[in-house]
Amino acid sequence: MEVIMAKSAGFCFGVKRAVESVYEQIETGKKIYTFGPIIHNEEVVKDLEEKGVQVIENMDELGRITEGTVIIRSHGVSKEVYELIDKQGLECVDATCPFVKRIHRIVEKESGEGKKIIIIGNPGHPEVEGIRGWAVTETIVMESEKEVEDFLNDKNNGVLKNEELCIVSQTTFNYNKFKDLVEIFSKRGYNVSVVNTICNATEERQTEAKQIASQVQTMIVIGGTHSSNTRKLYEICKKECENTHFIQTLDDLHLELLKAASPVGITAGASTPNNIIEEVQNYVRINF
Protein backbone atom coordinates (compact mmCIF):
# COMPACT_ATOMS: atom_id res chain seq x y z
CA MET A 1 0.00 0.00 0.00
CA GLU A 2 1.20 3.49 -0.82
CA VAL A 3 1.58 5.62 2.30
CA ILE A 4 2.19 9.38 2.26
CA MET A 5 3.65 10.50 5.57
CA ALA A 6 3.50 14.14 6.64
CA LYS A 7 6.99 15.47 7.29
CA SER A 8 5.66 17.85 9.94
CA ALA A 9 3.92 15.14 11.98
CA GLY A 10 4.76 14.78 15.66
CA PHE A 11 6.27 16.86 18.44
CA CYS A 12 6.75 20.53 17.65
CA PHE A 13 9.62 22.47 19.20
CA GLY A 14 7.58 23.73 22.17
CA VAL A 15 6.13 20.35 23.08
CA LYS A 16 9.47 18.56 22.70
CA ARG A 17 11.11 21.13 24.95
CA ALA A 18 8.38 20.79 27.59
CA VAL A 19 8.44 16.99 27.68
CA GLU A 20 12.22 16.85 27.82
CA SER A 21 12.22 19.31 30.73
CA VAL A 22 10.03 16.97 32.79
CA TYR A 23 12.23 13.93 32.16
CA GLU A 24 15.29 16.00 33.07
CA GLN A 25 13.69 17.07 36.35
CA ILE A 26 12.77 13.47 37.21
CA GLU A 27 16.51 12.72 37.27
CA THR A 28 17.02 15.22 40.12
CA GLY A 29 15.12 12.98 42.52
CA LYS A 30 12.95 15.88 43.72
CA LYS A 31 9.18 15.86 44.01
CA ILE A 32 7.96 16.90 40.55
CA TYR A 33 4.62 18.42 39.63
CA THR A 34 3.21 19.80 36.38
CA PHE A 35 0.52 22.46 36.39
CA GLY A 36 -2.00 20.60 34.26
CA PRO A 37 -0.92 17.73 31.99
CA ILE A 38 2.42 18.69 30.43
CA ILE A 39 0.92 18.08 26.96
CA HIS A 40 -2.40 16.82 25.62
CA ASN A 41 -1.34 13.23 25.07
CA GLU A 42 -2.57 10.54 27.41
CA GLU A 43 0.27 8.12 26.67
CA VAL A 44 2.96 10.63 27.62
CA VAL A 45 1.13 11.78 30.74
CA LYS A 46 0.63 8.17 31.86
CA ASP A 47 4.34 7.41 31.45
CA LEU A 48 5.28 10.47 33.51
CA GLU A 49 2.81 9.55 36.25
CA GLU A 50 4.37 6.10 36.45
CA LYS A 51 7.70 7.85 37.05
CA GLY A 52 6.23 9.79 39.97
CA VAL A 53 5.21 13.06 38.31
CA GLN A 54 1.98 14.45 39.74
CA VAL A 55 -0.44 16.70 37.87
CA ILE A 56 -1.79 19.79 39.65
CA GLU A 57 -5.25 20.53 38.31
CA ASN A 58 -6.03 23.92 39.83
CA MET A 59 -4.93 26.78 42.08
CA ASP A 60 -6.40 25.17 45.21
CA GLU A 61 -4.21 22.10 44.77
CA LEU A 62 -1.19 24.30 44.09
CA GLY A 63 -1.87 26.23 47.28
CA ARG A 64 -1.58 23.04 49.34
CA ILE A 65 1.91 22.17 48.06
CA THR A 66 4.83 23.38 50.16
CA GLU A 67 7.85 21.70 48.58
CA GLY A 68 9.07 20.40 45.24
CA THR A 69 9.35 21.60 41.66
CA VAL A 70 6.42 22.81 39.58
CA ILE A 71 6.81 22.65 35.81
CA ILE A 72 4.71 25.02 33.73
CA ARG A 73 3.38 23.16 30.72
CA SER A 74 3.81 24.18 27.10
CA HIS A 75 0.33 25.77 27.02
CA GLY A 76 1.42 28.36 29.57
CA VAL A 77 -0.49 29.67 32.60
CA SER A 78 -1.84 32.90 33.99
CA LYS A 79 0.31 35.40 35.87
CA GLU A 80 -1.30 34.48 39.18
CA VAL A 81 -0.01 30.90 38.92
CA TYR A 82 3.58 32.16 38.89
CA GLU A 83 2.79 34.39 41.85
CA LEU A 84 1.37 31.50 43.86
CA ILE A 85 4.33 29.24 43.06
CA ASP A 86 6.63 31.99 44.35
CA LYS A 87 4.48 32.53 47.44
CA GLN A 88 4.59 28.80 48.26
CA GLY A 89 8.38 28.81 48.00
CA LEU A 90 8.38 26.23 45.23
CA GLU A 91 10.94 25.84 42.47
CA CYS A 92 9.50 26.76 39.07
CA VAL A 93 10.63 25.33 35.73
CA ASP A 94 8.94 27.28 32.96
CA ALA A 95 8.36 25.10 29.89
CA THR A 96 5.86 27.46 28.28
CA CYS A 97 6.15 27.39 24.50
CA PRO A 98 8.02 30.54 23.33
CA PHE A 99 5.20 31.27 20.88
CA VAL A 100 2.72 31.29 23.77
CA LYS A 101 5.06 33.44 25.88
CA ARG A 102 5.02 35.98 23.07
CA ILE A 103 1.23 36.21 23.31
CA HIS A 104 1.46 36.76 27.09
CA ARG A 105 3.81 39.71 26.51
CA ILE A 106 1.58 41.17 23.78
CA VAL A 107 -1.58 40.89 25.88
CA GLU A 108 0.09 42.34 28.97
CA LYS A 109 1.45 45.30 26.97
CA GLU A 110 -1.65 46.02 24.86
CA SER A 111 -4.08 45.68 27.76
CA GLY A 112 -1.75 47.85 29.84
CA GLU A 113 -2.29 50.55 27.23
CA GLY A 114 -6.04 50.26 27.75
CA LYS A 115 -7.02 48.05 24.81
CA LYS A 116 -9.64 45.35 25.19
CA ILE A 117 -8.31 41.96 24.16
CA ILE A 118 -10.08 39.71 21.66
CA ILE A 119 -8.74 36.14 21.70
CA ILE A 120 -9.62 33.94 18.73
CA GLY A 121 -9.60 30.41 20.11
CA ASN A 122 -11.28 27.80 22.25
CA PRO A 123 -12.42 29.41 25.53
CA GLY A 124 -11.99 26.16 27.47
CA HIS A 125 -8.47 25.46 26.26
CA PRO A 126 -5.72 25.90 28.88
CA GLU A 127 -3.61 28.02 26.52
CA VAL A 128 -6.48 30.50 26.15
CA GLU A 129 -7.18 30.48 29.88
CA GLY A 130 -3.52 31.30 30.48
CA ILE A 131 -3.53 34.13 27.92
CA ARG A 132 -6.54 35.72 29.60
CA GLY A 133 -4.61 35.75 32.84
CA TRP A 134 -2.10 38.29 31.49
CA ALA A 135 -4.62 41.00 30.63
CA VAL A 136 -5.47 43.90 32.91
CA THR A 137 -8.48 44.85 30.78
CA GLU A 138 -11.49 42.85 29.65
CA THR A 139 -10.84 39.80 27.46
CA ILE A 140 -13.35 38.29 25.07
CA VAL A 141 -12.89 34.82 23.55
CA MET A 142 -14.60 33.62 20.36
CA GLU A 143 -13.96 30.89 17.81
CA SER A 144 -16.71 31.00 15.17
CA GLU A 145 -18.28 33.44 12.73
CA LYS A 146 -21.57 33.12 14.59
CA GLU A 147 -19.95 34.07 17.89
CA VAL A 148 -18.29 37.11 16.30
CA GLU A 149 -21.48 38.22 14.56
CA ASP A 150 -23.60 37.69 17.69
CA PHE A 151 -21.10 39.66 19.75
CA LEU A 152 -20.93 42.58 17.33
CA ASN A 153 -24.70 42.65 16.91
CA ASP A 154 -25.22 42.77 20.67
CA LYS A 155 -25.79 46.43 21.55
CA ASN A 156 -24.85 45.65 25.14
CA ASN A 157 -21.42 44.17 24.37
CA GLY A 158 -19.73 47.28 25.71
CA VAL A 159 -17.41 47.72 22.72
CA LEU A 160 -17.51 51.06 20.86
CA LYS A 161 -16.33 51.37 17.25
CA ASN A 162 -13.75 53.98 18.16
CA GLU A 163 -12.47 51.88 21.06
CA GLU A 164 -9.07 50.24 20.57
CA LEU A 165 -9.14 46.46 20.36
CA CYS A 166 -6.25 44.04 20.12
CA ILE A 167 -6.91 40.69 18.44
CA VAL A 168 -4.64 37.70 19.07
CA SER A 169 -5.07 34.01 18.41
CA GLN A 170 -4.56 30.70 20.13
CA THR A 171 -1.33 29.35 18.60
CA THR A 172 -2.99 26.24 17.16
CA PHE A 173 -6.02 27.94 15.61
CA ASN A 174 -6.86 27.40 11.93
CA TYR A 175 -5.06 30.21 10.09
CA ASN A 176 -7.67 30.70 7.34
CA LYS A 177 -10.46 30.73 9.88
CA PHE A 178 -8.55 33.32 11.94
CA LYS A 179 -8.30 35.59 8.89
CA ASP A 180 -12.02 35.22 8.20
CA LEU A 181 -12.97 36.20 11.75
CA VAL A 182 -10.61 39.19 11.79
CA GLU A 183 -12.10 40.37 8.51
CA ILE A 184 -15.55 40.62 10.12
CA PHE A 185 -14.21 43.16 12.63
CA SER A 186 -12.45 45.12 9.89
CA LYS A 187 -15.48 45.26 7.60
CA ARG A 188 -17.61 46.54 10.48
CA GLY A 189 -15.19 49.44 10.93
CA TYR A 190 -13.82 48.54 14.36
CA ASN A 191 -10.51 50.01 15.49
CA VAL A 192 -8.49 46.80 15.69
CA SER A 193 -4.83 45.99 16.10
CA VAL A 194 -4.34 42.45 14.78
CA VAL A 195 -1.42 40.25 15.78
CA ASN A 196 -1.23 36.87 14.06
CA THR A 197 0.01 34.70 16.92
CA ILE A 198 -0.57 31.34 15.24
CA CYS A 199 2.80 29.60 15.33
CA ASN A 200 4.62 28.79 12.10
CA ALA A 201 4.70 25.09 12.90
CA THR A 202 0.90 25.04 13.14
CA GLU A 203 0.46 26.78 9.79
CA GLU A 204 2.93 24.42 8.11
CA ARG A 205 1.33 21.34 9.67
CA GLN A 206 -2.18 22.38 8.62
CA THR A 207 -1.09 23.29 5.07
CA GLU A 208 0.72 19.99 4.59
CA ALA A 209 -2.18 17.97 6.06
CA LYS A 210 -4.64 19.62 3.68
CA GLN A 211 -2.39 18.95 0.71
CA ILE A 212 -1.90 15.27 1.57
CA ALA A 213 -5.59 14.70 2.35
CA SER A 214 -6.53 16.05 -1.08
CA GLN A 215 -4.33 13.39 -2.73
CA VAL A 216 -5.34 10.22 -0.85
CA GLN A 217 -8.28 7.85 -0.47
CA THR A 218 -7.80 7.38 3.27
CA MET A 219 -6.36 9.82 5.82
CA ILE A 220 -5.21 9.01 9.35
CA VAL A 221 -4.76 11.73 11.96
CA ILE A 222 -2.94 10.65 15.14
CA GLY A 223 -3.19 12.47 18.44
CA GLY A 224 -4.72 12.80 21.89
CA THR A 225 -8.46 13.28 22.23
CA HIS A 226 -7.93 16.52 24.16
CA SER A 227 -5.41 17.94 21.68
CA SER A 228 -6.77 21.09 20.06
CA ASN A 229 -4.25 21.15 17.23
CA THR A 230 -4.94 17.48 16.37
CA ARG A 231 -8.68 18.10 16.33
CA LYS A 232 -8.16 20.98 13.90
CA LEU A 233 -5.98 18.77 11.67
CA TYR A 234 -8.79 16.24 11.60
CA GLU A 235 -11.33 18.90 10.60
CA ILE A 236 -9.07 20.18 7.82
CA CYS A 237 -8.38 16.68 6.47
CA LYS A 238 -12.04 15.64 6.68
CA LYS A 239 -12.99 18.45 4.31
CA GLU A 240 -10.52 17.13 1.74
CA CYS A 241 -10.92 13.38 2.33
CA GLU A 242 -14.21 11.97 3.61
CA ASN A 243 -12.49 8.76 4.71
CA THR A 244 -10.46 10.48 7.46
CA HIS A 245 -9.91 8.79 10.83
CA PHE A 246 -8.83 10.25 14.18
CA ILE A 247 -6.89 7.76 16.33
CA GLN A 248 -4.79 7.97 19.48
CA THR A 249 -2.64 4.86 19.19
CA LEU A 250 -2.19 1.73 17.07
CA ASP A 251 -4.90 0.03 19.15
CA ASP A 252 -7.51 2.31 17.58
CA LEU A 253 -6.43 1.50 14.05
CA HIS A 254 -7.66 -1.99 13.23
CA LEU A 255 -11.40 -1.55 12.78
CA GLU A 256 -11.08 1.91 11.30
CA LEU A 257 -8.92 0.83 8.40
CA LEU A 258 -11.02 -2.11 7.26
CA LYS A 259 -12.41 0.39 4.74
CA ALA A 260 -8.97 1.70 3.82
CA ALA A 261 -8.19 2.45 0.22
CA SER A 262 -4.78 3.28 -1.20
CA PRO A 263 -3.05 5.67 -1.10
CA VAL A 264 -3.17 6.42 2.64
CA GLY A 265 -2.04 9.68 4.17
CA ILE A 266 -0.81 10.01 7.76
CA THR A 267 -0.32 13.10 9.88
CA ALA A 268 -0.15 13.72 13.61
CA GLY A 269 -0.65 16.48 16.12
CA ALA A 270 2.10 18.41 17.86
CA SER A 271 1.67 16.34 21.03
CA THR A 272 2.01 12.93 19.39
CA PRO A 273 5.22 10.96 20.23
CA ASN A 274 7.29 9.70 17.32
CA ASN A 275 7.14 6.08 18.49
CA ILE A 276 3.33 6.05 18.11
CA ILE A 277 3.55 7.62 14.64
CA GLU A 278 6.15 5.05 13.54
CA GLU A 279 4.06 2.14 14.86
CA VAL A 280 1.04 3.28 12.89
CA GLN A 281 3.04 3.95 9.74
CA ASN A 282 4.75 0.54 9.83
CA TYR A 283 1.51 -1.28 10.57
CA VAL A 284 -0.28 0.34 7.63
CA ARG A 285 2.59 -0.43 5.23
CA ILE A 286 2.75 -4.09 6.24
CA ASN A 287 -0.91 -5.00 6.77
CA PHE A 288 -2.87 -3.05 4.17
Catalytic residues, by residue number, are 127
Is there a binding annotation on residue 78?
A: no
Q: Are 119 and 168 in contact (CB under 8 A)?
A: yes
Consult the annotation and say whether 227 binds a ligand: yes
Q: How far is 11 from 71, CA to CA, in rounded Å?
A: 18
At 266 the three-state DSSP class reads strand
254 is in an annotated binding site: no
Q: Is 271 annotated as a binding residue?
A: yes
CA atoms within 13 A on the CB side of 65: 26
Helix then strand then coil, in percent of the chain rounded to 5, is 45, 20, 35
Q: Is 125 annotated as a binding residue?
A: yes
Q: Are 128 and 107 in contact (CB under 8 A)?
A: no
Could you count the other beta carbons within 10 Å of the beta carbon of residue 95? 23
What type of residue is 212? I
Report residue 247 CA to chain centroid gap: 17
Q: Find out whether 229 is annotated in a ligand binding site.
A: yes
Known binding residue 237? Answer is: no
The one-character DSSP state at 16 is H
Dist. CA 85–CA 43, nearest whole Å: 27
Binding-site residues for dimethylallyl diphosphate sit at: 40, 75, 125, 227-229, 271
Q: Which residues are annotated as a binding site?
A: 12, 40, 75, 97, 125, 171, 199, 227-229, 271
Q: Give the residue numbers of the binding site for [4Fe-4S] cluster.
A: 12, 97, 199
* Residues that constitute the known binding site for isopentenyl diphosphate: 40, 75, 125, 227-229, 271
